[in-house]
Chains A and B, each alone.
Chain A
Amino acid sequence: MRSPYALLRDLHLGAGLFAAVFVAAYALSAAQMAYRVVRPAEPEVSSRVVAIPPGVGLEARPLARWLMREHDLSGDLVEVGERRARTTLRIAGPGAVHRVEVDRGARRAEIVSERMGAVRMLLRLHETGGLGRDHWALDAWGGLLLAVSLALLALAGSGLTMWFLRHRRLRFGVPLFVGTLVAGLTLLTLVRLA
Chain B
Amino acid sequence: MPAGSERARWIALLRRCHIWTGLFAFTGLLVFAAAGLHVSFRPAGARRATAPPAVSEIAFRADPALSDEQLADRVHAELRLPLSQPLPASAVRRDRDHRLRLDFRTPNGVHRVTVLEEEGKLRIEHRANGLGEFLDLMHMRTFARTPPHPAFRLWAAYVDLSIFALLFLALSGVWLWLESRPGARWAQGTLALGGALFAAVWWALR
Residues in A lying within 8 Å of B, measured CB to CB: 13-14, 16-28, 30-31, 33-35, 74-76, 93-96, 115, 121, 125, 129-133, 135-138, 140-142, 144-146, 148-150, 152-153, 155-156, 159-160, 163, 167, 169, 172-173, 176-177, 180-181, 183-188, 190-192, 194
Question: Could you tell me the distance in whole angstroms from the C-beta of A135 to the nearest C-beta in chain B?
Answer: 8
Instruction: Write out, one digit per residue, whether chain B residues 157-189 have a CB within 8 A of any chain A CB (1) or not (0).
Output: 010100110110111011001000000101100
Main SS at interface, chain B = helix
Are B155 and A27 within 8 A (Cβ)?
A: no
20 interchain pairs (CB within 8 A)? Answer: A13-B190, A16-B174, A19-B170, A20-B170, A23-B169, A27-B163, A74-B205, A93-B205, A130-B41, A135-B205, A142-B40, A144-B197, A145-B36, A145-B39, A149-B34, A156-B26, A177-B24, A180-B25, A188-B155, A192-B108
Are A27 and B170 within 8 A (Cβ)?
A: yes
Known contacts A132-B44, A144-B201, A149-B36; A191 and B83 CB within 8 A of each other: yes
Among B53-61, B89-97, B112-120, B146-154, the stretch that binds chain A is B146-154
CB of B19 within 8 Å of the partner chain: yes
Closest to A93 in B: B205
Give the top 9 A-B pairs by smallest Cβ distance, nearest first: A149-B36, A184-B27, A137-B204, A190-B151, A129-B39, A27-B167, A34-B142, A152-B33, A146-B40
Please give 12 more A-B residue pairs, beta carbons under 8 A apart, in addition to A95-B206, A184-B27.
Answer: A17-B174, A17-B194, A18-B194, A74-B206, A137-B204, A145-B39, A149-B34, A152-B36, A167-B19, A177-B23, A185-B27, A191-B155
Question: Could you tell me the distance in whole angstroms from the C-beta of B69 to the nearest C-beta in chain A?
Answer: 25
Closest to A160 in B: B26
Within 8 Å CB of A28, what residues of B? 167
Instruction: Write out, one digit per residue, whether chain B residues 20-32 have a CB within 8 A of any chain A CB (1) or not (0).
Output: 1011111111111
B25, B138, B166 pick with most chain A CB within 10 angstroms:
B166
Are B37 and A146 within 8 A (Cβ)?
A: yes
Identify which of B15, B164, B187 contacts A27 (C-beta below 8 A).
Answer: B164
User: Which positions 82-105 of chain B face chain A at CB distance < 8 Å?
Assistant: 82-83
Identify which of B26, B152, B166, B171 contacts A191 (C-beta below 8 A).
Answer: B152
Question: Could you tell me the distance in whole angstroms from the C-beta of A13 to the nearest C-beta in chain B?
Answer: 6
Question: Could you tell me the distance in whole angstroms from the C-beta of A156 to the nearest C-beta in chain B?
Answer: 5
Are B22 and A156 within 8 A (Cβ)?
A: yes
Known contacts A130-B40, A145-B40, A184-B158; A16 and B23 CB within 8 A of each other: no
Are A35 and B144 within 8 A (Cβ)?
A: yes
Within 8 Å CB of B134, what residues of A? 192
Are A21 and B23 within 8 A (Cβ)?
A: no
Closest to B42 in A: A130
Identify which of B24, B32, B34, B108 contacts A194 (C-beta below 8 A).
Answer: B108
Are B155 and A187 within 8 A (Cβ)?
A: yes
Closest to B83 in A: A194
Known contacts A130-B39, A181-B27; A194 and B152 CB within 8 A of each other: yes
Within 8 Å CB of A159, what residues of B? 19, 22
Within 8 Å CB of A115, what residues of B? 206
Within 8 Å CB of A167, what residues of B? 15, 19
Question: Could you tell me the distance in whole angstroms from the C-beta of A127 to the nearest C-beta in chain B?
Answer: 9
Identify which of B154, B155, B163 contacts A34 (C-beta below 8 A).
Answer: B163
